[in-house]
């Protein structure tokens, strides 16, 4: 009789563990889904800001066609990317690098840096980048906890039985950023207007050509 009771207790404990582990997996999957929605919201907000930002810079630097085309193309590729977080991140790398080059172009034009419309767009872009990084960290933290349970015993048994697979992180490959990191623009003070990821070297931008000064008139006879 004691053995039967012990067996029943063990079975009950196993069932309770299995139900609890399954419910936790379901909750974690929902957390990851919600966290990804936050990332997607910030990405869409950034995509919406970019056309106006490009037009603001184009009004002062219309000859920088290559930069504008690069930003426009990178935005189209990133906004059209669908599928896994890894594929989305791969499309974001070139866009981040192109935005950094656009901001360096803007730095060469003092009148543009004082333009209120451009400053408002730049501020909104910077705020969006901050929110995006917060959402990315929250998403990756949830993925890390979930993946650890999927791969750890004994919760891995429930994961295998119920088809719970590891999730992908959302990380932009440093190699895809080019030389620039996430653009952080600051037009105040005497220092550099654009800073990039730690240790990164921003790409060079040729300032607008200044016409040579006219020769002085000959002295009167």
Domain ranges of the chain: 2-195
- Residue 8, CA distances (Å) to 2, 4, 13, 21, 122 in order: 10, 6, 9, 20, 65
Tell which residue, 171, 193, 196, has the closest CA to residue 181. Answer: 196
Q: What is the Cα–Cα distance from 136 to 39, expressed in whole angstroms? A: 6
Residue 123 corresponds to which tokens in the numbers above?
Answer: 């501020």
What fold, for 2-195? Answer: de novo design (two linked rop proteins) (1.20.1440)
* pLDDT of amino acid 174: 55
Please, which pLDDT band fits residue 171 given cuts at 50, 70 and 90? Answer: confident
Q: How confident is the model over 106-134, as a mean pLDDT?
A: 90
Helices (H), the chain: 2-58, 65-79, 85-107, 110-113, 116-151, 155-162
Q: Quick check: 192 pLDDT over 80?
A: no
Q: Quick check: 185 pLDDT over 70?
A: no
Taking the CB of residue 33, how many other CB atoms lie within 10 A of it? 12
* pLDDT of amino acid 173: 61
* pLDDT of amino acid 201: 39
């Amino acid at each position: 009789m004691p053995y039967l009771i012990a067996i029943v207790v063990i079975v009950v404990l196993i069932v309770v563990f299995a139900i609890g582990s399954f419910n936790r997996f379901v909750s974690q999957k929902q957390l990851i889904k919600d966290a990804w929605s936050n990332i997607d919201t910030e990405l869409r907000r950034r995509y919406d800001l970019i056309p106006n930002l490009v037009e603001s810079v184009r009004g002062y630097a219309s000859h920088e066609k290559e930069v504008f085309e690069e930003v426009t193309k990178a935005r189209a590729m990133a906004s059209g990317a669908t599928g896994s977080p890894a594929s989305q991140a791969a499309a974001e790398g070139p866009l981040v690098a192109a935005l950094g080059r656009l901001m360096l172009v803007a730095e060469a034009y003092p009148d543009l840096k004082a333009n209120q419309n451009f400053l408002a767009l730049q501020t909104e872009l910077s705020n969006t980048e901050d929110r995006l990084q917060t959402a990315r960290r929250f998403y990756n933290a949830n993925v890390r906890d979930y993946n650890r349970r999927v791969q750890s015993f004994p919760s891995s048994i429930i994961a295998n039985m119920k088809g719970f697979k590891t999730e992908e992180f959302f990380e932009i490959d440093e190699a895809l950023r080019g030389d620039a990191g996430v653009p952080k623009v600051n037009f105040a003070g005497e220092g550099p207007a654009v800073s990039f990821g730690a240790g990164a070297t921003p790409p060079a931008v040729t300032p607008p050509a200044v016409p040579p000064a006219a020769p002085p008139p000959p002295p009167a006879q």
